[in-house]
Amino acid sequence: MRRFYIIANETKERGLANAGVIERYLKDRGCSCRIAEVGERPAPPYRYTDPEKIPQDMECIIVLGGDGTLLQAARDVVETQIPLIGINFGDLGFLAEVDRSSMYTALDKLICDEATIEERMMLEGEIIRDGKIIGNDIALNDIVICRDGNLRVVKFINYVNGEYLNAYPADGIIISTPTGSTGYSLSAGGPIVAPRAMMTIMTPIAPHTMNTRSIVFPGDDVLTIEIGQRRQEDTEKCIAAFDGGTLVEMKTGDRIRITKADVKARIFKLNHLSFVEVLRRKMR
């Protein structure tokens, strides 16, 4: 491939500095390369770049930062269906498989088309109030519904394909993809799921019951979470967070309907390590 686009996390100085280095390296080898404008924030809902400004003939988007940067960039550009690859300038990276020491080797492999494309399932969430959709977005990692304001638990009422599942008080609830299973969901006690799987994981955050655990559902199931009434005189306030980016306020009686998104994130994979080997190395 010969046409590249670079997105750099402005908060990571190493990423910004290396954007120019990578651009020169690629151009010296006969490639075309453009860097997303730095210092000019795109209009919401985009975080790092406006997809309308990415030339349609780009073959690869290089994301400089960490897993968080790659997550937000993937949400920005998913409709373009241009594959991404992350170069990790953060800490622990599961999505951004290339680190600084292997950066040039990775670029050479991309130029020589020595890469495969891995498609990752995404989620779509719609917040419904009084029968109307008041907010929606997509997520590659997870959709988290958690309390807002006072430190007290919220009652979550959960449905699967319209059928009542359970209800419990908790600090929050995480609905994650297999990609997101190694993120917040894992920290809350959820299972690790191979990233190419098509399933959805429901994980409670600090549930105030002894028998509540994570549940794994087929990817085509529709999950609905309702904010229940805890005290008759109070209105509970919550936040629905999409990959920690888009935030939508919720309150008692609101529901969020979560389904598998119609689009998938497309991520370049360069090495031939199995998921088990990557997991062993990252988790030590």
Active site residues per annotation? 67
- Strand-pair partners of 269: 116
What DSSP designation does 42 have?
Answer: P
Residue among 172, 158, 154, 213 nearest 189 (CA): 213
Residue 22 contacts residue 33 (beta carbons within 8 Å)? yes
Query: What residues contact residue 257 under an 8 Å CB cut-off, 6+ apart?
Result: 125, 126, 128, 222, 223, 224
Residue 75: both structure tokens together: 């949400």
d(CA 61, CA 86): 9
Residue 84 contacts residue 77 (beta carbons within 8 Å)? yes
Residue among 87, 236, 32 nearest 153 (CA): 236
d(CA 144, CA 140): 12
Residue among 64, 208, 223, 61 nearest 142 (CA): 223
Neighbours of 101 (CB within 10 A): 7
